Structure 1
Amino acid sequence: MKIAIGGASGMLGSRLDAALVERGDEVVRLVRKPATSESERQWDPQANTISVPGLSDVDAVVNLAGAPIAGSRWAAEYKREILSSRVLSTRTVVQALADAREEGSDRCKTFLSASAVGIYGFDCGDRLLPEDAPVETGFLADVCEKWEDAALPAADLGVRVVRLRTANVLSPRGGFLGALRPLFKFGVAGRIGDGRQWLSWIHIDDHVAAMVALLDGEVSGPVNLTAPNPVRNASFTREYGRVLNRPTFIPFPSPVARIALTPNMVDETVAAGQRAVPEALARSGFKFSYPVLGQALRDLEGQRKETPRRSKKSRRGKQPKV
C-alpha cells in the first residue's frame, strides 16, 4: 500500500513509518517544510492545503499530528493551539480527500484519525469505558469531540474512517514514561492522591501493530487503543518502582503541581482516571503482545538498555586528530 502520514516525525508516527516501510509499504510523509524528496509532501493546515498531488495517489492516510498535550502550561493560548493543531490538520486531510474525489480519484479508501480516551472525561470512577461509552465534558473531552467531528465528513466521501482513541502510550523514550521516569529513578515518585483512579495504557509496539492491523482490516468508527488490563494509579506506581528497583513512598505533590501547571491540566492529565477497554480491537481479533503492565514495563526498560542514548560527542562524530 501507499500510505500518507501526518505527524510522521513524532513518537508514534516515526514508529508507524518504520513498521510500514519494513513490511514493504510506500510511505508519504506530510511535512510543514518544503518537500525535499518524493517521499515527502508539504502540507499547511493553516491554509488547508497539501501540495500536488495531494492525497489522490495514496491508498490510506493516517493523521497523528497535534501539539503535545503536556508541551506547556495550559494557558489560554496554548489550549487554543492544542485544539486548532488537531482540528485544522484533520480538516486538511478531509479537504484533500474531497479534492481527490473531484479530480476523479477515489483511490484512498481508509483514514485513520487520531483521538484519545480523554473523550470519556477525566473523572470516570470505576466505570468501564468501551467505545460506546458516552462523551463527557472537560477541556480534553471537548478537544477530542471536535477532533473526531472534523474527521467524520470523510465518511461521506466513501472513506472508511477509524478514530484512534489512544490511551497513555508507554515508550522506551519520551511519552508518558518520559515525564515520570526521572521522578521514579530519583526515588521521589508515588501515587497520585489516594491512587485509586484508573490508568489506561498501551505499549508503543502494540499501538503501532494495532494501527497496521486497522489499515489492513475493515473496522470503522471509534477504536480504543489501550491495553486490555487498565490498572489503578497505585498499582502502576508500585509496578514501575519494582521494575526500576526504586522506592515509591512519596505521594505526588498535587497542590504544588496545580500551581505550576494549572489546575485544569493536572486534573485532566496526571490526576485523571479512565478505565478504557479495547472492545473494538477484541472483536476484530487483534492480539496484544503486552496485555499486562509488568510485562510491558520490563520490555520497555530492556529496550532502553539495549539502545542507550548517544552522547553529544558521538552524535557529532569523532573529532579529527591535529
Structure 2
Amino acid sequence: MRILLTGGTGLIGRALCQHWSQQGHALYVWSRSPQQVPALCGGARGIAQLQELDGGPPLDAVVNLAGAPIADRPWTQARQALLWRSRVGLTRSLVDWIGRQPVPPRVLLSGSAVGWYGDGGQQWLSEDNAPGNTDFGSRLCVAWEQEAERARQWGVRVALLRTAPVLAPQGGMLARLLPPFRLGLGGRLGSGQQWMPWIHLDDQVALIDHLLQHQDASGPFNACAPEAVRNADFTQTLAHTLHRPAILPAPAWALRLALGEMSVLLLGGQRLVPRRTQEAGFSWRHPLLPAALEHLIQKQ
C-alpha cells in the first residue's frame, strides 16, 4: 500500500513506520522536518507540503496522528491555541487536500483520544456514549473528529481512534513515570480511584493496521486494553513490577494548583469498554496490565 502518515516522527508513528516498512509498504510522512524523516521513520519519504504528492499515483490510506503533546505543559490560552491548530487546523487542511485528489484514498484513519469522553467518573463508557464537552481536552477531540468525518463526502472510509495513554519504555506516560518509581518516589494521583485506561504500544500499532485492513471498520474505536484499572491499581502494579514501594501520593489540590484545567488528565478518568474494537475482531497481545508492564520493562 501507499500510505501517507502525519505524526510519523512521534512515538506511535515511528513504531508504525518500522512495522509497515518491514511489510514493504511505500510510506510518506508529512513533517515540519522532512529531512529527518528517513532516519527516524524507517526509510519513509519526508514531505514538507502535501502538494509534493500531487500528480503521483493515488494513495491507498492516510493515517493522521499529528498533534502537539497535550500533557507537556499547562493549558494556557496560547497553549490551547497551539493544540487546536496542530489537531483541528491540520486535519482540516489534510481533509481539504484529500477532497482535491482525482482519486481519494480509500481510508482515512484519524487520531483522537479518550479525553473525548471527558471525566466519566464511575460510568461505563463505550464508543456509543456522548462526548464529555466539559473541558478543553474533550472539546478539542470533538472538533478534531468532526474535521476528519468530512472526508466521507468524497467516499473515503473514516475510522476514528480514541487512544488511551500508550505504554512504551521509550516515550509517553510510562517513560515519565519510570524514573521516580524506580527511586521509590511514586504513588497514586489524588484519591487514586479515577479510572485509567491504557494500551501497550504493540497493540496500538496492531490495531491501526487491523483497522486499515478491514474494509467495514468505520467510525470510532476505543484504543485501550479491555481490562479497566483505577489509578491506584496502576501505580501499585508498576511499583510491584519494579520491586519498589508506591507510598508518595500526589495530592489533588497540588495537581490542580500546578496544572489548572489540565489536571483533569490526571485526576479525571474514563471507565472504558473497547466494545466496537472487540466487535471488529481485534485480538490484544497484552490485555492485562501486570504482564504488559513486565514485557515493557524487560525490553529496556
Residues 71-121 of structure 1 show CA distances to partners (whole Å, capped at 9, x for unaligned) of 222211001111111011111221111110xxx323x10000000011111
Mapped to 1, the partners of 2:137 and 2:57 lie a distance apart of 32
Identify which of 241, 247, 250 aligns with 1:249: 247
Say which structure is richer in strand: 1
**What code does the residue aligned with 1:251 have?**
P
Residues 265-298 of structure 1 show CA distances to partners (whole Å, capped at 9, x for unaligned) of 11x2111211112111111111000000001100
1:4 aligns with 2:4: yes
How much has 1:34 moved relative to structure 2?
Answer: 5.6
Q: Flag the 1:32–1:279 CA change in 2: closer, same or farther, 3 A.
A: same
How much has 1:256 moved relative to structure 2?
Answer: 2.7
**What code does the residue aligned with 1:41 have?**
I
How much has 1:245 moved relative to structure 2?
Answer: 0.7
Q: Which position in structure 1 is the counterpart of 2:89?
A: 88
Q: Which position in structure 1 is the counterpart of 2:210?
A: 213
Mapped to 1, the partners of 2:3 and 2:251 lie a distance apart of 44
Q: Flag the 1:156–1:191 CA change in 2: closer, same or farther, 3 A.
A: same
SS at match of 1:210: helix
How much has 1:202 moved relative to structure 2?
Answer: 0.3
Q: Flag the 1:200–1:126 CA change in 2: closer, same or farther, 3 A.
A: same
Identify which of 121, 125, 134 aligns with 1:125: 121
SS at match of 1:4: strand
**What code does the residue aligned with 2:188 have?**
R
Q: Flag the 1:75–1:55 CA change in 2: closer, same or farther, 3 A.
A: farther
**What code does the residue aligned with 1:296 have?**
A
Q: Which position in structure 2 is the counterpart of 1:78?
A: 79
SS at match of 1:51: helix
Residues 41-67 of structure 1 show CA distances to partners (whole Å, capped at 9, x for unaligned) of 223xxxxx5434288621000010001
Report if aligned partners of 1:172, 1:301 keep a CA contact under 8 Å in 2.
yes
Gaps of 5+ in 1: 44-48, 305-322
Root-mean-square deviation (Å) = 1.7
Report if aligned partners of 1:169, 1:204 keep a CA contact under 8 Å in 2.
yes
SS at match of 1:3: strand
Mapped to 1, the partners of 2:109 and 2:55 lie a distance apart of 17
**What code does the residue aligned with 1:40 have?**
G
SS at match of 1:13: helix
Gaps of 5+ in 2: 39-43
Report if aligned partners of 1:87, 1:146 keep a CA contact under 8 Å in 2.
yes
Residues 176-232 of structure 1 show CA distances to partners (whole Å, capped at 9, x for unaligned) of 112222221121211122211111000000000000011111200001000000201
1:260 aligns with 2:265: no
Mapped to 2, the partners of 1:32 and 1:52 lie a distance apart of 16
SS at match of 1:126: coil
Higher alpha-carbon deviation: 154-163 or 18-27: 18-27
**What code does the residue aligned with 2:288 have?**
V
Identify which of 292, 296, 301 aligns with 2:292: 296
Mapped to 2, the partners of 1:225 and 1:211 lie a distance apart of 9
Q: Which position in structure 2 is the counterpart of 1:164?
A: 161
Report if aligned partners of 1:56, 1:97 keep a CA contact under 8 Å in 2.
no
**Structure with bigger gyration radius:** 1
Q: Percent identity?
A: 39
Report if aligned partners of 1:50, 1:92 keep a CA contact under 8 Å in 2.
no
Matches within 5 A, 1:54-203: 57-100=58-101, 104-106=102-104, 108-122=105-119, 124-137=120-133, 138-203=135-200
How much has 1:258 moved relative to structure 2?
Answer: 2.5
Mapped to 2, the partners of 1:183 and 1:50 lie a distance apart of 45
Identify which of 22, 41, 45 aligns with 2:47: 41
Mapped to 2, the partners of 1:197 and 1:173 lie a distance apart of 25
How much has 1:23 moved relative to structure 2?
Answer: 1.3
Report if aligned partners of 1:54, 1:96 keep a CA contact under 8 Å in 2.
no
Q: Which position in structure 2 is the counterpart of 1:308?
A: none
Q: Which position in structure 2 is the counterpart of 1:30?
A: 30
Mapped to 1, the partners of 2:97 and 2:179 lie a distance apart of 42
The count of corresponding residues between Structure 1 and Structure 2 is 292
Mapped to 1, the partners of 2:55 and 2:84 lie a distance apart of 24
Report if aligned partners of 1:4, 1:55 keep a CA contact under 8 Å in 2.
no
SS at match of 1:114: strand
Mapped to 2, the partners of 1:55 and 1:197 lie a distance apart of 49
Q: Which position in structure 1 is the counterpart of 2:270?
A: 274
Q: Flag the 1:61–1:188 CA change in 2: closer, same or farther, 3 A.
A: same
